[in-house]
Structure 1
Amino acid sequence: MAKIIPFKAVRPTRDKVSLVAARSYQSYTKEQLESRLRDNPFSFLQIVNPGYRYDKEISGEARYNLVRNRYLEFKEDDIFVQDNTACFYVYKIVDRDKQEFNGIVAAASAEDYEKDIIKKHEDTIEYREIIFKEYLKTVGFNAEPVLLTYPDNNIIAKIIENTQKHRAEFEFTTTYRDTHYLWKVEDKKTIATISAEFEKMKTIYIADGHHRSASSYLLYKDLKDANPDHHGDENYNFFMSYLLPESDLRIHEFNRIVKDLNGLSKEEFLIQLDTIYRIENRGLHPYKPSKKHHFSMYLDGEFYSLYLRKTSYDIETSLDALDSQILYKTILKPILGIEDLRNDHRISYINGKKDIVNIKSSVDSGEYVVGFGMVPVDIEEMKQIADDGLKMPPKSTFIEPKLRSGVTIYEF
């Protein structure tokens, strides 16, 4: 049973929230980051890039301490204010394509992560978990929720709907033209109802934020072991999450582009593919697959459709049936020699929300030689792989919504 609780969020004041809210700093180009740090003193980027003040790159423990200092300054200057009572926060995003996402920001249990009540579908990298754990331990807060998804629930949906009939605490639009809304849920009876509905759920799933979840769990273990008076309701027992019903989740694919053919000529490469796939040359006509186990390929100025030959590939597990795994096991690893999907510099990824012609542009530029497209993973595939205790290949899903940092903050 999932344990989901309210918490006392630290939040920007209403007049500052649109200035504070920021994407993950890794998503900005160097020029974009420089512009925001120069022109917006209220951006959350000022906190997580403390070296900007000194015109110096700062890393490790020194950076973590400065992040903590900048955060405290924002609190001292009343840019951030903490709520007096523990709340759930109904959060709505309407993106530029008019897609709506309606969920609840809350605290999820690190123990549920340990017990596999909160299930994972992606592998994490240990050193990244440890680095972020140490970061969290020093700064003392988390500013970006993990995205969790749960089975659609009529009672929770009705609470969200009724809450949204009132004036939002926050309403702001980003330069990406996404509009964000936040409402506080303070009524104790409503809070109890929400918690009780989540307690009925045997499993919820991480949609996005596997490393943040893992790091929060490691932090929980460290602080629990260091606390002789541990009793289980300390803030470190939980981590901030945005819980979204499955029907609101949007899953896109990640397409693959590769820099060379591993020493093969075009003809040799196509001959090797022919043993595993039915190949059709589509010429200049952009081809986007519409079925599982069908792939698009762009090579030497032409599009191809690739249909997996059923007799050439054995499906024994839910992971074997995943298209990103099929592509890895049949082409990327055995033919193109790409073993490590995370670290091999020969492969890059384009999220499937972008048009298929982005693959063509990357190959036509000369930086890449071949590109592959596929259909997105669906929610049932993702859940089945998590239920089976398996892990998807890296970059198997591009999941929306993408959340902003600094709108709600959870302190440990």
Structure 2
Amino acid sequence: MPLIKPFTGLRPAPDRAEAVIAPPYDVINVAEARELVRERPWSFLHISRAEVDLPEGTDPHDPSVYARARANLEHMLAAGVLRRDPTPSYYVYRLTMDGHRQTGLVAAASVAAYDSGRIKRHEFTRPAKEDDRVRQIEALDAQTGPVFLAYRAQAAVDGLLAATTEQPPEVDVTAADGVRHELWRIGEPAQVAAIDAAFAAIDALYVADGHHRSAAASRVAAARREAGAMPGGAHESFLAVIFPHDQLRILDYNRVVRDLNGHTPETLLAAIAERFAVEPADTPVAPTRPGEFGLYLAGHWYRLGLDPRLIPADDPVASLDVSLLQQHLIEPLLGIDDPRRDPRIDFVGGIRGLDGLQQRVDSGEMALALALHPTPMASLLAVADAGAVMPPKSTWFEPKLADGLVSHVLD
């Protein structure tokens, strides 16, 4: 069962990439999206967040949104802003942010490999978010949001990608957030065959980000199969960008909580001290190792060190910092037993920094903030290999993939 195959990518026309590419649909809200499309008629947000072209207050899941996305896609095709490559290809995609660089492969990943577990997951999905992605794929007859996959670094694969990047890229754009996006096309049959052979030797791929997009692609493929679609069609694969695990950068994914669950700051600190070493800090606390946490409470920062005896050595999920914090502080002391659904807790990606945490508390919106050490990539792989599931909001990857750089048409 091949893990990946080349495909005929739908891409911005030459010199149009800067006008088209956009942040991922799910990392900005509708107000931010409306602001970003001002004076940008060809922004991919007109497809990925089509509610920006409908009256304010429109439900993002209203059928009119998906219909507008389809109309906007057809408009961009008719105008020649988006074009489809003539032959099946792979694409090398390089992201550069703040001196960090990662180089991956854009490919059509196998739904069969995903369904069988050879493309491994580490998160639960929510039905409503899956339904949204299914409707978007069906409306567009295309997958426009890439799934972020990882492979255990292989010299053969890494070397092929590196060799491609020795040539000038077809696309070289620095987005408004400072992230540089470069793209190379691999269409020559011998080069495509070399990529095929290199990935055939890889045991598994791992979903780093995009669990809802990959699950939705699986559902679309199953529905089309049942409706009699031709075997082996484009619906049997999904758009993916695949990076070596040792090039990926995971940032901290922090927590803020709205109230102290009946505690005063003093009684909460006393309760925390029963399981953690509590040390006041003069500056914001960025944890430097697993098992260490930062707490911002009542205008003060504290460094928390969990009692090492409470950290299991042989459980890849229970030993995660997000699990330990939930088990020993958030649930027993703050009364939040379901962080996936409890409105008292919110999650803040590390890209916003510790100042972002402190501001949420100082504004009065939240009562406390908790800073975590980033989840190691090795832990993500271990959880997926064990067939287990990480707690919600365990990883925040940066830089983010651009929407609109390459899309996968299903006809």
TM norm. shorter chain > 0.5: yes
Residues 235-293 of structure 1: CA deviation (Å, up to 9, x unaligned): 000001001111211011111111111011222212221221122222x3332221211
The residue type paired with residue 275 of structure 2 is: I
Give the counterpart letter for 1:248 in structure 2.
Answer: Q
Structure 2 partner of 1:66? 68
Alignment gaps of 5+ in structure 1:
none
SS in 2 for 1:353: helix
Q: Distance in 2 between matches of 1:123 and 1:180?
A: 30
Write the letter of the residue equivalent to 2:378.
Answer: E
Deviation at 1:23, TM superposition (A): 0.8
> Which residue of the partner structure matches residue 251 of structure 2?
252
- Give the letter for the 2:7 counterpart: F
Amino acid at match of 1:126: P
| Sequence identity percentage | 29
Q: Which moved more, 1:155-164 or 1:377-386?
A: 155-164
Equivalent runs, 1:182-261 vs 2, <5 Å: 182-227=183-228, 230-231=230-231, 233-261=232-260
Residue matched to 1:115: 116
CA-CA distance at 1:314 after TM superposition: 4.9
What's the Cα RMSD here? 1.9
Work out whether residues 19 and 40 of structure 1, in 8 Å CA contact, stay in contact via their aligned partners in 2: yes
Larger deviation, residues 214-223 vs 304-313: 304-313
Q: Tell me which amino acid in the other structure corresponds to 1:33.
A: A
Distance (whole Å) between structure 2 residues aligned to residue 60 and residue 400 of structure 1: 31
1:386 Cα deviation after fit? 0.9
Deviation at 1:315, TM superposition (A): 5.4
Deviation, 1:323, is 0.3
Relative to 1, partners in 2 of residues 1:38 and 1:296: Cα closer, same or farther, differing over 3 Å?
closer
Q: Relative to structure 1, is the Cα distance of residues 123 and 30 closer, same or farther in structure 2, using a 3 angstrom cutoff?
A: closer
Question: 8 Å contact 1:276–1:313 — kept in the other structure?
Answer: no
Match of 1:89 in 2: 91
**Cα displacement (A) at 1:51:** 4.9
Mapped partners of 2:345, 2:137: distance in 1: 31
2: CA distance, partners of 1:240 / 1:48: 15
Q: State the shift of 1:340 in Å.
A: 2.2
Question: Which residue matches 1:78?
Answer: 80
Letter paired with 2:12: P
1:275–1:312 Cα contact (<8 Å) kept: no
Cα deviation for residue 29 of structure 1 reads 5.4
- For 2:7, the equivalent position in structure 1 comes to 7
Where 1:27 maps in the other structure, the secondary structure is coil
Partner of 2:178: 177
Inter-CA distance 165–22: structure 2 relative to 1 (3 Å threshold): same
Tell me the distance in 2 between the aligned counterparts of 1:235 and 1:76: 22
Tell me the residue number matched to 1:357: 355
**3-state secondary structure, aligned to 1:247:** helix
Query: CA 1:278/1:7 → structure 2, altered by over 3 Å: closer, same or farther?
Result: same
Note closer, same or farther for the CA distance 1:51–1:270 as it changes in structure 2 (3 Å cut): closer
User: What amino acid is the match of 1:238?
Assistant: S
Query: How far apart, in 2, do the equivalents of 1:219 and 1:134 lie?
Result: 9
**Partners of 1:51 and 1:398 in 2: how far apart?**
26
Where 2:333 maps in the other structure, the secondary structure is coil
8 Å CA contact 1:296–1:303 kept in 2: the answer is yes
After superposition, residues 152-167 of structure 1 pair within 5 angstroms as 152-167=153-168
Higher mean alpha-carbon deviation, 238-247 vs 343-352, is at 343-352
Shift, 1:348, TM fit: 1.6
- Counterpart code for 1:335: L
Paired residues, what number? 408
- How far apart, CA to CA, are the structure 2 residues paired with 1:52 and 1:361? 28
- 1:35 is displaced (CA, Å) by 3.5
Return the offset for 1:312. 4.5
Tell me how far apart the structure 1 counterparts of residues 15 and 72 of structure 2 sit (CA, whole Å). 20
What letter is aligned with 1:239? F
Give the residue type in structure 1 aligned to 2:254: N
**In the alignment, what sits opposite 1:42?**
42
Distance 1:37 1:353, change over 3 A: closer
Separation in 2 of the partners of 1:255 and 1:381?
17
User: Structure 2 vs 1, CA of residues 207 and 48 (structure 1 numbering), >3 Å: closer, same or farther?
Assistant: closer
Residue type matched to 2:74 in 1? L
Three-state SS of the structure 2 residue aligned to 1:380 is: helix
Tell me how far 1:204 sits from its aligned partner: 1.1
Distance in 1 separating the partners of 2:17 and 2:186:
19
> How much has 1:310 moved relative to structure 2?
3.2
Cα gap change, 1:63 to 1:85, in 2 (>3 Å): same
Distance between the aligned counterparts of 2:31 and 2:64, measured in 1?
A: 24
1:130 correspondence with 2:131? yes
1:381 Cα deviation from its structure 2 partner: 0.6
**1:53 Cα deviation (Å)?**
4.5
Distance 2:104 2:311 in 1: 40
Q: Deviations over 1:131-151 (max 9, x none)?
A: 311221222111121110111
Query: Contact conserved, 1:294 with 1:307, CA < 8 A, in 2?
Result: yes
Report the TM-score when normalising by structure 2.
0.94
Q: Is the CA contact (8 Å cut-off) linking 2:286 and 2:354 kept in structure 1?
A: yes
Matched, 1:289 2:287: yes
- The 3 A distance-change label for structure 1 pair 368 and 106 is same
1:373 alignment partner AA: A
Distance 1:169 1:324, change over 3 A: same
Give distance in 2, aligned partners of 1:310 and 1:193: 48
Q: TM-score, normalised by structure 1?
A: 0.94
Q: Are 2:93 and 2:106, in contact at CA under 8 Å, matched by a contact in 1?
A: yes
What SS does the corresponding residue of 1:335 show, helix, strand or coil?
A: helix
Is contact 1:108-1:240 (8 Å) kept?
A: yes
Residues 2 and 117, structure 1, Cα contact 8 Å, conserved in 2: no
Q: How many Å separate the matches in 2 of 1:49 and 1:403? A: 16
Q: Render the CA deviation track for 1:102-127: whole Å, top value 9, x for unaligned.
A: 11100000111111111111111122
